[in-house]
Amino acid sequence: MELILVLMIAGSLLGMVYLSIRGRRVAIATAEDFEGRVKPVNLDALQNLMNPTEEAFLRESLSPADYREVERARIRATLDYVGAISWNAALFMSAAQRLRQHKSPEIVAAGLQISKEALELRLLSLSAELLLTLRLVLPAARLAPKGIGQVYGSLRQQVAEAWKLSAFSAQHSAI
């Protein structure tokens, strides 16, 4: 009986992880469609929220009670940004799927690279959400996601450039 319960819980968790990674399917036809669905992420603000020096400064400057309140607010704000990054990673995966259907081998290759990196970003954002949620529950834990801002910024730029290239290619092939 216990084994069945454990297997059911494990199966449920695996299903949740699969659905989280796969994300929601969003049909993207054009660069404008893509841009209209991307959630804004202020990378400078995110970097500030995840800066250990800033955290140390706040810990030294504030009373313990005030620090805990500010730290919880910072974690919730970081979770909002990471959630937007996770959403955008799912959009990047959809955009990459569209780019992989292009006639140009260069754009197809860009789509494949974006697809791979978007999946990695999606996994990174999910692990960051887990770490940040644990920090909300266990404030003493010094768990911090690393590198998500840089990965996101780089991938965001790659997707924008690939869309421009595919639109340019489509215009010139029609001439």
Residue 58 identity (one-letter amino acid): L
Mean pLDDT value across the chain: 82
Rounded to 5 degrees, what angle do the CA atoms 152, 47, 115 make?
A: 10
The string of pLDDT tens digits covering residues 26-47 is: 666 666 777 888 899 999 999 9
First to last CA, the chain: 68
* Residue 124 contacts residue 148 (beta carbons within 8 Å): yes
Q: What is the DSSP letter of 139?
A: T
pLDDT band with cut points at 50, 70 and 90 for residue 17: low
Q: Give the C-alpha separation, 129 to 149, whole Å.
A: 13
Q: Pick the more confident residue, 87 or 138.
A: 87
Give CA separation, 153 vs 73, 89, 106, 167, in Å. 24, 11, 22, 22
pLDDT band with cut points at 50, 70 and 90 for residue 174: very low
Give CA separation, 41 vs 9, 121, 153, in Å. 34, 14, 9
Q: Give the C-alpha separation, 118 to 98, whole Å.
A: 14
The string of pLDDT tens digits covering residues 98-122 is: 888 888 888 889 899 999 999 999 9
Q: Pick the more confident residue, 24 or 67.
A: 67
Residues 60-71 as b/e (b if ≥16 CB within 10 A, e otherwise) read eeeeeeebeeeb
